[in-house]
Structure formats: C-alpha cells, structure tokens
Structure 1
Amino acid sequence: MSFIRPMVPGDLLKISSTNLDHLTETYNIGFYLEYLTKWPDLCKVIEGHDGQIEGYILGKVESSPYPVPLYPYHPDTNPDPHYLPWHGHITALTVAPSARRLGHATRLSAALEQGADAQKGWFVDLYVRASNEIAKELYRKMGYSVYRRVLDYYNDGEDAFDMRKSLSRDVGGKHVRENGENFHVRPEDVW
C-alpha cells in the first residue's frame, strides 16, 4: 500500500526513477528546493510499502505579479483577460513507470487541490504538451479542462494547453471555459 506524505529534501536524492519518461520535465536541485522552502505544504510524494518514491507533485499558490486592476478582485469586473487571480498551480506531477495506473496522479492532484482550496484559490491550473494525449486524458478525468492553447510555449516550439479546474471559491466556474483549445494566446500573454 502506498501513502502520500510531505516531500522532504532527502527525497530529492530518490526521485530520479520517477523522471524516466521522455515527457517528464526534470529540474535542477535548486528548483526543487525553492518549492520546498516556499510551498512545503503543496509538495508531496507518494511512497510505496518498500520505501521507494513512486511519484511526486510540486505545486504553488500565486497570482499575477502586477496589481489587480480592480480591488477586490472578482471575475465579473476584471478588465484584464490575462490577469491570474490567487490560484494553485501544478508545476510538476510525475509517477514512476512501474507505479502507473494505480491512481497515484489522481491522489497527488487531489492533495494539491485541497491545499490550494484551503488557501482560498480560485482554481488550479497546469500546463501540458499539446501532443501528450495520455496526460490530457488523465487530467480531463480528474475534472480539468483546457482553458487556452499557448502557442510555441515549450523550447522546442510545441504548444501547451493551459488546463484548469475550479475550486470551491469559483462559484459558477468563471475561470474555466468550453472549447479552450480554440482560444489561442502567445507565451508573453500568460504569466
């Protein structure tokens, strides 16, 4: 039986086996440590009965760095379509190849969503490669939908889908949209 627990710095020496997929982004140790120091409650691992790390999630809560156009923020009165209110973000979610299809990604995402909801986020978002059909389907099953397509987002020129899931604060789902695949933006339009 596997269980979710907070990520600790020592886990960074044990997660390489989870990053074996060619679609998994691997970061430098400083990047992981920054997340652990700034958002420790949104960084989790799933550990197997043998003590091996079977997956992890890195997340944060944030908003656009520039001032809210109108205060207090409300989606109906926000004049800037690119402004991001307080929300959770999944930066990295990966499961070791040997532990896939066990529900680990869903459990890790749910843990992050609960943390972002407790911090009064409006939604949780993530970016996924437009070609990554497996990940897109997984996120759709977890309740995420495409909000917009970010053209040329990745260094290799591939587009990304900005996928979102409303949290309890987003009554009426004002931060999600249907047919987001057809709403195109440039990387400089997103924060």
Structure 2
Amino acid sequence: MDIRVLRPSDIPHVQLANITNLPENYFCKYYLYHAMSWPQLSYVAVDVSRPPKTPYDPPKIVGYVLAKMEEEPTDGVQHGHITSLSVNRTHRRLGLAEKLMRQSQRAMAETFAAHYVSLHVRVSNAAALHLYRDTLGFGVDKVEAKYYADGEDAYSMRMELSELKNEAVVA
C-alpha cells in the first residue's frame, strides 16, 4: 500500500470511493478546490499490489483523506479541518485511515503551523468515533444538532497538534 499526496487526476477515483462508502457526497469541483488550495494536505491510499496493465491504467485508490486549512477561523487560531475520510470496505482494518489522518495532520503542522485539527462525525458512527477518539486522540468539542442533511447530529471534534509542531521544530 502506498500513501501519497492527492493529485487532480485522482479526483474521479476519490469521488467514486466517496459515493461508494459515505452518505455525504461532494461535487468534483469541491475536491479540486481542496487539491489546488492546499495541495499538501489531502492524501490517497493506493493498492500497489495490482500492477498497471497499460500506462493508462488508473491507480487503484482504496482510501483518501480530504483536508483543508480554515481560511477565516472564527476563533482566530490557525487550524486545519478534515473534510472527508474514507477507506473501501475491502481494505479496512489495515491501519490505512490512521496513516492517512496522521500524514495530513503532520502536513498541517509542518506546512501551515496549525495549532489543531477539527472534524465532524456522525454521532452514530461508532467505528469512526473509535478511530478519532481512541486511536488518534481527538476529543469531542461540542454536539452540532441536525448537522447532516438527513437530520443526524454530529460531534464536532478536535485534536491539538502541539506535539507534531514540536517534532517539526526539532527535526
């Protein structure tokens, strides 16, 4: 498995993974906006065990993280935001979501000196909550009522990036 920066040519494959795996879907231009505005922050997981048959054979993207910096943070603190994270069912429980998230968080801290990263997650998504809270160290900041289009509430979560920023200074 290879984790690499999202390329504009990956967007149709990322969109397919999003539509297949998540109820929250985006237009292609939204992915492109992330890729062009913050090219260092979004990553894909590529299954390299399947060699391309031709030079035109697209990469097999099995997961992605779509991330950005908040342009006008309401709290005045420079921070990143995870817009979307998804791994295909066939490639779950391999640690890919954690690797994608950590790579994006590291880039936020090193490239933009982000103080923290935020995200939203459905209150019913136990697997994602386990990843964010127990594995990555996010905490619930607040509950946002009826955040999703179907009326479900979201946890607004955040994780401080001070340790990653300190690592970047030492390196």
Q: TM-score, normalised by structure 2?
A: 0.82
* Residue of structure 2 equivalent to 1:54: 62
The whole-number CA distance in structure 2 between the counterparts of 1:170 and 1:112 is: 11
How many correspondences in the alignment?
153
The whole-number CA distance in structure 2 between the counterparts of 1:9 and 1:108 is: 17
Structure 2 CA distance for partners of 1:33 and 1:63, relative to 1, 3 Å? closer
Would the aligned equivalents of 2:147 and 2:153 in 1 still touch at CA under 8 Å? yes
Q: How much has 1:84 moved relative to structure 2?
A: 5.0
Structure 2 CA distance for partners of 1:94 and 1:170, relative to 1, 3 Å? closer
Structure 2 CA distance for partners of 1:18 and 1:52, relative to 1, 3 Å? farther
* Residue of structure 1 equivalent to 2:125: 132
User: Which of these residues, 97, 101, 104, is aligned with residue 89 of structure 2?
Assistant: 97
Cα RMSD after superposing both structures? 2.0
* Residue of structure 2 equivalent to 1:78: none
Would the aligned equivalents of 2:79 and 2:116 in 1 still touch at CA under 8 Å? yes
The amino acid that maps onto 2:26 is: Y
Would the aligned equivalents of 1:120 and 1:169 in 2 still touch at CA under 8 Å? no
Q: TM-score, normalised by structure 1?
A: 0.74
Would the aligned equivalents of 1:19 and 1:94 in 2 still touch at CA under 8 Å? no
Structure 1: segments with no counterpart, 5+ residues: 66-81, 172-191
Q: 1:24-47 deviations in whole A, cap 9, x for unaligned?
A: 422111111111110111111110
Structure 2: segments with no counterpart, 5+ residues: 51-58, 166-171
Q: How much has 1:164 moved relative to structure 2?
A: 0.8
Q: 1:111-134 deviations in whole A, cap 9, x for unaligned?
A: 111011112111111000111111
* Residue of structure 2 equivalent to 1:152: 146
Write 1 or 2 for the structure with the bigger share of helix.
2
The whole-number CA distance in structure 2 between the counterparts of 1:8 and 1:17 is: 15
